């Protein structure tokens, strides 16, 4: 068994704050949108949602600052080759190889820790979808102050529709992300790595 | 001969009766008579200190006012003037007694007495508001139904109160609440409330006058609903609403649709209390009765408004009206898409896990 230090401390702190907050935002989001089905007072749910939302926005800045400052942000950008050949290889692994016991074609290193599919997904989430969710969230938090911006984008219903669609997406993502995290060499391997920082990689038999 | 007298008597009676009847309803003192003096813009009263106070009343503006339109006579309110005696310097008792609005507005007075304003006056606060404090232009008082919630509060409540000081308990969008809601919706608990959508010009930031709307549609206020309600269900549906705005656009009127929650013009709006409704779900719920009491409102130049029933489906439709309340106006289609997105995630994880479990024997064999 080979041990690799894959997740530095700032990344782990960011990840778990983020995980807790996004989960809370999804839950409070459900309480807000469908308040008549739950006993939670709307005011409480909105307050909690607003506070956690601001924490996520700050946490996003921590993530962005860390990755840009250390230059590590490039680990999120797939190369052309990764986008085509290696991505197909990875899709083949997840939809066939993993079931018949083939080894994972991708081997993470601290410099290249995401497979092509992870890169594509995380890049679009972290640099597009999450900032968009934070942006629309702020507009909904201050609808009077940002009235002109809201009008520019076609009114508050358009902003809300984007925010709600992304809310459903993030809810769905949490489920898929959680499941995919069980695909390590043991079901708990990736979870442990996200706590300790050390990922265990089975040695390849030649 | 006798019959002839009777005939003459009846004839005179017939001719005279309308005049007699008219005399009893007509003003004891005609408004025109008052305006002979008070209609002069320079008509002033000199105060002991040398200052002057205007006694002028603009007859035309009064005629357009809610009182003028309802044929209220000057002496109906200034009731201590019963006759004019031109032998005197001032032909009526002066100064006149304060006007008692409650002689007509009984219910309003009763609600006012329950209010924080009426209570304060009862407890001896001389500065506590009376009718004229809020309805300050009382000779020219207009209907208020045609004003937006923001115009109403600006003209009445905001003269004394700064809402920014009090509403910190609202979790967000503080200002939106008092911009699109009458103060009396929350502060007059028993006032009947309704939700109304208005045609709005977002560039000019003003409501499009109802006269302009009906003219563009070549209808009048009375047959508006009949004309736009194509499917004849007695309500305006989202498709019909969309068709109206499309027609308006073709006539060069850019109409967005905004909305607000208002108290109906009812005496109970005067029962203003300091503590207000703080239950968000009164409005913020798909089940809110206030949101179900939904109308399309056309405002009129005289300050009146016409309310036409709207189908509640407008609020949850895809039609992008500029009216949004958390929870209450959620779009149905979006919920369906959302369920599919979440089911997609669950289906992916569950499906993959199932195949993973089913193929365990396959992987064991390989080892």
Same domain, B163 and B268: yes
C-beta of residue A50 within 8 angstroms of C-beta of residue B171? yes
List, for residues A80-118, the tens digit of each pLDDT value.
888 888 999 999 999 999 999 898 888 888 888 899 999
Chain B residues near residue A154 by CB distance under 8 angstroms: 320
Question: Beta partners for B295?
Answer: B196, B309
Q: Would you call B366 and A100 a contact, using CB atoms and an 8 Å cutoff?
A: yes
Whether B94 is in a domain gets the answer yes
| Cα–Cα distance measured from residue A119 to residue A111, given in angstroms and rounded to the nearest whole number | 13
Kindly state whether B242 is in contact with chain A, defined as any CB-CB distance less than 8 angstroms. no
Classify B21 as helix, strand or coil.
helix
H or E element: which one contains B175?
A: helix B174-179
β-pairing, B294-299 with B193-201?
A: parallel
Same domain, B252 and B158: yes
Kindly state whether B167 is in contact with chain A, defined as any CB-CB distance less than 8 angstroms. no
DSSP label of A164:
H
- Residue A33 is nearest to which of B170, B327, B362, comparing CB atoms? B327
Q: Domain total for chain B?
A: 3
Same domain, B221 and B234: yes
Whether B229 is in a domain gets the answer yes
Same domain, B326 and B255: yes
Q: What is the pLDDT of residue A202?
A: 76
Kindly state whether B202 is in contact with chain A, defined as any CB-CB distance less than 8 angstroms. yes
Same domain, B305 and B357: no
Same domain, B157 and B188: yes
Q: What is the pLDDT of residue A111?
A: 86
Kindly state whether B179 is in contact with chain A, defined as any CB-CB distance less than 8 angstroms. yes
Q: Would you call B171 and A144 a contact, using CB atoms and an 8 Å cutoff?
A: no
Mutate which of B324, B328, B351, B354 to disrupt the A interface (most A C-beta within 10 Å)? B324
Same domain, B241 and B316: yes
Same domain, B154 and B217: yes
Same domain, B306 and B357: no
C-beta of residue A90 within 8 angstroms of C-beta of residue A121? no
Kindly state whether B345 is in contact with chain A, defined as any CB-CB distance less than 8 angstroms. yes
- Residue B176 is nearest to which of A143, A151, A175, comparing CB atoms? A143
Which residues 258-297 of B are in CB contact (within 8 Å) with A?
Answer: 280-281, 284-287
Whether B13 is in a domain gets the answer no
The residue behind tokens 């669950």 is: B346
- Residue B359 is nearest to which of A100, A143, A173, comparing CB atoms? A100
Whether B187 is in a domain gets the answer yes
Q: Would you call B322 and A144 a contact, using CB atoms and an 8 Å cutoff?
A: no
Question: Beta partners for B46?
Answer: B52
Chain B residues near residue A151 by CB distance under 8 angstroms: 202
Same domain, B180 and B79: no
Kindly state whether B204 is in contact with chain A, defined as any CB-CB distance less than 8 angstroms. no
Whether B340 is in a domain gets the answer yes
- At residue A205 the predicted structure's pLDDT band, cuts being 50, 70 and 90, is low
**Apex CA B178: angle with CA B173 and CA B182, to 5°?**
145
Chain A residues near residue B173 by CB distance under 8 angstroms: 141-144
| Cα–Cα distance measured from residue A193 to residue A184, given in angstroms and rounded to the nearest whole number | 10
Chain B residues near residue A34 by CB distance under 8 angstroms: 327
Which residues span the domain enclosing B361? 333-366
The pLDDT > 70 percentage for chain A reads 98
Whether B133 is in a domain gets the answer no
| Cα–Cα distance measured from residue B295 to residue B221, given in angstroms and rounded to the nearest whole number | 14
- Greatest distance between any 2 Cα atoms in chain B: 138
Burial label, B324 (beta-carbon count in 10 A; 0-12, 13-18, 19+) = buried
Query: Angle, to 10 degrees, between the axis of helix A156-180 and the axis of helix A130-141?
Result: 140
DSSP label of B138:
G
Contacts of B17 (CB under 8 A, 6+ apart): none
| Cα–Cα distance measured from residue B49 to residue B62, given in angstroms and rounded to the nearest whole number | 30
Q: Would you call A42 and B326 a contact, using CB atoms and an 8 Å cutoff?
A: yes
Which residues 70-109 of B are in CB contact (within 8 Å) with A?
Answer: none
Q: Tell me the helix, strand and coil percentages in chain B, rounded to 5.
A: 45, 10, 45
pLDDT digit string (tens) for chain B, length 367 residues: 455 666 676 666 666 655 555 444 444 688 899 999 999 999 988 888 888 889 999 999 999 899 999 999 999 999 999 888 888 888 998 888 889 999 999 999 999 999 999 999 999 999 999 998 888 778 998 888 989 999 999 889 999 999 999 899 998 888 899 899 999 999 999 999 999 999 999 889 899 999 999 999 999 999 999 999 999 999 999 999 999 999 999 999 999 999 999 999 999 999 999 999 999 999 999 999 999 999 999 999 888 999 999 999 999 998 888 899 999 999 999 999 999 999 999 999 999 999 999 999 988 887 6
Classify B319 as helix, strand or coil.
coil
Instruction: Name the minimum distance, in Å, from the CA of B298 to any CA of chain A.
Output: 22
**Apex CA A117: angle with CA A113 and CA A118, to 5°?**
45
Whether A11 has a pLDDT exceeding 50, the answer reads yes
Same domain, B157 and B193: yes
Q: Identify the CA nearest to B332 among candidates A161, A142, A176.
A: A161
Contacts of A7 (CB under 8 A, 6+ apart): A15, A113, A193, A194, A197, A199
What are chain A's domains? 2-78+119-201 (1.20.950.20)
Mean pLDDT for A169-187 is 94
| Cα–Cα distance measured from residue B360 to residue B7, given in angstroms and rounded to the nearest whole number | 118
Chain B residue closest to A165 (CA)? B338
């Amino acid at each position: 068994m080979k041990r690799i230090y894959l997740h530095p401390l700032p990344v782990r702190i960011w990840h778990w704050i983020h995980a807790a907050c996004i989960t809370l935002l999804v839950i409070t989001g459900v309480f807000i949108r469908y308040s008549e089905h739950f006993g939670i007072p709307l005011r409480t749910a909105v307050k909690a949602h607003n506070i956690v939302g601001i924490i996520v926005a700050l946490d996003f800045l921590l993530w962005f600052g860390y990755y840009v400052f250390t230059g590590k942000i490039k680990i999120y950008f797939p190369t052309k080759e990764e986008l085509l050949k290696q991505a197909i290889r990875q899709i083949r692994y997840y939809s066939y190889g993993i079931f018949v016991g083939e080894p994972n074609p991708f081997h993470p290193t601290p410099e290249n820790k995401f497979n092509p599919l992870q890169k594509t997904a995380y890049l679009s989430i972290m640099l597009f979808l999450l900032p968009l969710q934070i942006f629309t969230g702020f507009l909904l938090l201050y609808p009077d102050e940002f009235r002109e911006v809201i009008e520019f984008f076609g009114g508050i219903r358009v902003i809300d529709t984007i925010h709600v669609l992304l809310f459903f997406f993030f809810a769905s993502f949490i489920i898929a992300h959680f499941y995919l995290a069980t695909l390590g060499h043991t079901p708990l391997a990736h979870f442990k790595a996200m706590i300790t920082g050390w990922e265990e990689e089975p040695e390849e038999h030649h | 001969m006798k019959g002839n007298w009777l005939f003459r008597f009846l004839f005179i009676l017939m001719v005279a009766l309308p005049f007699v009847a008219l005399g009893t309803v007509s003003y004891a003192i005609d408004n025109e008579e008052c305006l002979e003096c008070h209609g002069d813009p320079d008509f002033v009263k000199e105060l002991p200190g040398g200052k002057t106070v205007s006694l002028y009343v603009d007859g035309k503006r009064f005629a357009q006012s809610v009182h003028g339109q309802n044929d209220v006579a000057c002496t109906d309110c200034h009731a201590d003037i019963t006759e004019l005696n031109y032998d005197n310097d001032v032909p009526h008792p002066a100064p006149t007694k304060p006007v008692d609005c409650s002689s007509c507005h009984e219910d309003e007075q009763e609600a006012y007495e329950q209010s924080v304003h009426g209570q304060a006056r009862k407890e001896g606060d001389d500065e506590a508001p009376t009718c004229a404090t809020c309805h300050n232009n009382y000779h020219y008082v207009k209907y208020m139904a045609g004003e937006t919630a923001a115009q109403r509060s600006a003209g009445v409540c905001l003269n004394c109160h700064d809402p920014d000081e009090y509403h910190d308990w609202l979790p967000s969008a503080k200002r939106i609440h008092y911009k699109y809601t009458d103060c009396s919706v929350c502060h007059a608990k028993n006032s009947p409330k309704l939700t109304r959508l208005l045609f709005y010009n977002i560039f000019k930031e003003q409501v499009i006058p109802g006269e302009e709307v009906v003219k563009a549609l070549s209808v009048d206020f009375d047959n508006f609903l009949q004309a736009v309600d194509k499917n004849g269900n007695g309500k305006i549906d989202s498709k019909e609403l969309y068709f109206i705005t499309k027609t308006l656009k073709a006539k060069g009127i850019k109409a967005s649709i905004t909305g607000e929650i208002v108290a109906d013009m009812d005496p109970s709006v005067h029962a203003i209390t300091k503590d207000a409704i703080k239950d968000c779900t009164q409005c913020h719920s798909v089940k809110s009765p206030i949101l179900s009491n939904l109308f399309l409102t056309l405002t009129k130049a005289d300050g009146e408004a016409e309310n036409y029933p709207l189908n509640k489906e407008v609020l949850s439709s895809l039609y992008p009206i500029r009216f949004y309340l958390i929870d209450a106006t959620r779009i149905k289609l979006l919920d369906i898409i959302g369920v599919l997105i979440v089911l997609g995630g669950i289906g992916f994880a569950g499906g993959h896990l199932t195949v993973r479990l089913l193929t365990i024997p396959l992987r064991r064999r390989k080892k």
